[in-house]
Structure 1
Amino acid sequence: MKKIEKLTSRLHNMTCERNELRGILANYTNKDLNNRLNFELEMLKMEHKQVMSDLQKFPIEIIDALDKCTGLIEETESFRSSETGLS
């Protein structure tokens, strides 16, 4: 009988310890998951901010490139005109 009582007591203690460890593990897993989700959300926000900034700069860059192309076309035409004038 004493052996059964001793085993029952140990089983009860082990069950309590198991339940406590499950709680700790569940809490740790949730915190870790929340931390990862928050980190990923912040990274996405930063990436979104960068993309939006790039999109705002894009029309200005297109205008600059167009101005450079127009200047090069004019320079090329001027060079051609001066070449034909020399012949």
Structure 2
Amino acid sequence: MMEKEQIYNVLTERGYDGKSANVIIPELQVLTPPLDTYFEQWVSNESNTHDYVSSGYSIKKLMEERGMTYPAALLTMDWLIKEPEAAMGSLNRGVR
């Protein structure tokens, strides 16, 4: 698991404010495989992004159509994997 401070530094360097970074760090530290590996690779190199599909959504689609950052799309995909019904309902309503 990546250290909180390392994740915080990367997120704030890439546009997150400190409060938002602190809110999502615990969730990013427990992403479902392979999303955890995708996040670690993105931390090492911002252009290193992978796509993944679950419940009819993809990371790329979430970023393009919902305006999500890569970490936000990973967290949403993780939610789709862990709680597909709740996540789908929220996404269909346009809420996360």
TM-score (norm 2): 0.18
* Structure ranking higher on relative contact order (CA contacts 8 Å, 6+ apart): 2
Bigger proportion of residues as helix = 1
Bigger proportion of residues as strand = 2
TM-score (norm 1): 0.19
